[in-house]
Amino acid sequence: MLREVADGVWVRQSEWVWSNAVAVRSGDGVVLIDPGIDGSDLNELADDLDRLGLAVVAGLSTHPHWDHLLWHPRFGDVPRYATPAGAGAAGRARDRARAMAARSAAGVPAELIGLVTPLPADGAGVPGEIIEHQAHAVGHAAVRLADRGVLLAGDMLSDVLIPLLDAGRPDQVGAYETALDRLGAAARDVTVVVPGHGAVAEGPEVAARLAADRAYIDALRHGDEPVDARLAQDWLAGPHRSNLEQARHRAG
């Protein structure tokens, strides 16, 4: 079920990697951000929106990874946005995204995956302030809803995912440092952070999430082994090794 975490901001979490779909009230409807994950999930999300009595007026993909590019006919034929860089990357990766969704998410309408267009320069169509950076994925967007005290962080500031470097991009350690600086500035006046995966952070946990990601990236920067409670999850061993190798390669 959708859970209201702030005024006009609802979150629905999936079982698949604790993925969060977000609905944000905008005018007489909602903007749907990163809906997912499989066909039944998308249908249930549509049911939840029907119960709210609010129509979807637009969509936003925070970044061009397959699990953030999904859609369903029940959400309507409305504008679906990403940052210009994110939209370009989504177009180039559409076939790969569809193949990955077919392997991991049953019942997803493949023809609707990744059909995003560049967000207008003035941000019209999506409420709040777009904070763009290049960590984790090209053209990654966070959304700051200052009037509601909320930061929608995309695949950052998670309690279950470590920072995941984009192997195809240069100097991801530096990109994460820049991104965390921007998110830290944006989070100064917020009380709720919604990550793309994991639990919603509230109150003091907001600063703790920033500190955890900073500590992990600082360790990579200095060639140290990060001490991070999230690494207790066995399935993160592979991504963590990849991060270490990328950081060492760039440092060399």
Mean pLDDT of the residues in the chain: 96
pLDDT band at 68 (very low <50, low <70, confident <90, very high): very high
Q: What's the CATH number of domain 1-127, 3.60.21.10, 3.60.15.10, 3.30.70.20, 3.40.190.80?
A: 3.60.15.10
Q: For residue 236, what pLDDT is reported?
A: 97
Q: For residue 36, what pLDDT is reported?
A: 87
Cβ proximity of 156 and 183 under 8 Å: yes
Q: Which CATH fold would you assign to the domain 130-252? A: Metallo-beta-lactamase; Chain A (3.60.15)
Q: Is the dihedral of CA 113, 118, 123, 129 positive or negative?
A: positive
pTM value is 0.96
Q: Where are the domains of the chain?
A: 1-127, 130-252
Would you say residue 251 has pLDDT above 80?
A: no
As a whole number, mean pLDDT of residues 164-179 equals 94
Q: For residue 231, what pLDDT is reported?
A: 98
CA distance 189 to 207: 11
pLDDT band at 120 (very low <50, low <70, confident <90, very high): very high
CA count, 13 A, side-chain hemisphere, 9: 21
CA distance 245 to 239: 10
Q: For residue 107, what pLDDT is reported?
A: 93
Report the percentage of the chain scoring pLDDT > 70.
Answer: 99
Is residue 63 exposed (0-12), middle (13-18) or buried (19+ Cβ within 10 Å)? buried
